Amino acid sequence: MRVFFIVMSAIFALACSSGANGPSANVNSKPTAKATPLPVAGYEIVKSYPHDPQAFTQGLFFYDGFLYESTGLGKTNQSTLRKVEIETGKVVQKFDVPKPSFAEGIALLDGKIYQLTWQEGIARVFDAKDFTLIKEFPYQGEGWGLTTDGTHLFMTDHTHVMRVLSPETFKSIKMLAVMREDGKPLMNINELEFVKGEIWANVWHSEKPDVLGKPNHIARIEPQTGKLLGWINLAGISPEDQPAADARPGDPKQENVLNGIAYDAANDRIFVTGKNWKKLYEIKLKPAA
């Protein structure tokens, strides 16, 4: 009987040591590594220019001395493709996108302008000289931002995934997942621009706590891998064009978010604007702190 008691006591002790109070094979007992902070660049305004306050900016790029802009809002017939004088904001050439298409991102490649639509699943291709419609491509999902590296197109669809597309077929070649430094998906990637070998991406409503909790932030992304390289903090830019921090739901400016990046590579100039903003800004980055 004594031997039985000793054996049972040993079994009971062993069970306790491997149970809820002991280390488990399925639980990582090592401390979780902290996210490595990424560089955050600031900005200074070099110059401001007039911008059409009725332009619901969805895409922007610079070419041969002009800005090319895509504007949205299909139901009210405000979706357009435009060629714009920088100094005056004057629209010198325009294509009215047929209703109910809601125009989105644009990119220039090999003399052709590619323009996405939001939920219609149609990409239109125009001659860059006269805006003649050349062809249309179907695609799955939503269309948000678009840019090019000179060979392929890069497209966003509101998720954390960027599609690398063939300009000849508009078919996906590969997908790039963009993750934040804390390991979470970087959602709401919107309007895109290729700048010095990187993709710069507006983050739609980055001020919202469930997105980033930081207003007017642009993500810098490595185009080969989708790796997040850093941030550009444009907080405080153009306050008269955006809702106040304590604005209530229904504020008429609630969608007036930063959503336009254009780069003049020949003169190393960066332009930014937003939806229904009255100004376009030429900016220069300040080094990350």
For position 252, what pLDDT does the model report? 85
Question: What is the fold, at CATH topology level, of the domain defined by 37-286?
Answer: Neuraminidase (2.120.10)
For position 289, what pLDDT does the model report? 64
For position 78, what pLDDT does the model report? 86
Domain ranges, ordered by start, for the chain: 37-286
Residue type, 274: G
> Could you tell me whether strands 40-50 and 228-233 are parallel, antiparallel, or unpaired per DSSP bridges?
parallel
* pLDDT means over runs of 10, the chain (289 residues): 40 38 36 71 98 96 98 83 98 94 97 97 97 97 97 97 98 97 95 98 94 94 98 94 81 91 98 97 90
- pLDDT, tens digit (0-9, with 9 covering 90-100), for 198-211: 999 999 999 999 99
Structure tokens at 80: 């357009």
Integer CA distances (angstroms), 133 to 97, 143, 158, in order = 10, 19, 26
Give pTM, 2 decimals. 0.86
CA 19 – CA 26 distance, rounded (Å): 12
DSSP letters for 147-204: EE-SSSEEEE-SSSEEEEE-TTT--EEEEEE-B-TTSSB---EEEEEEETTEEEEEET
* Percent of the chain topping pLDDT 90: 77
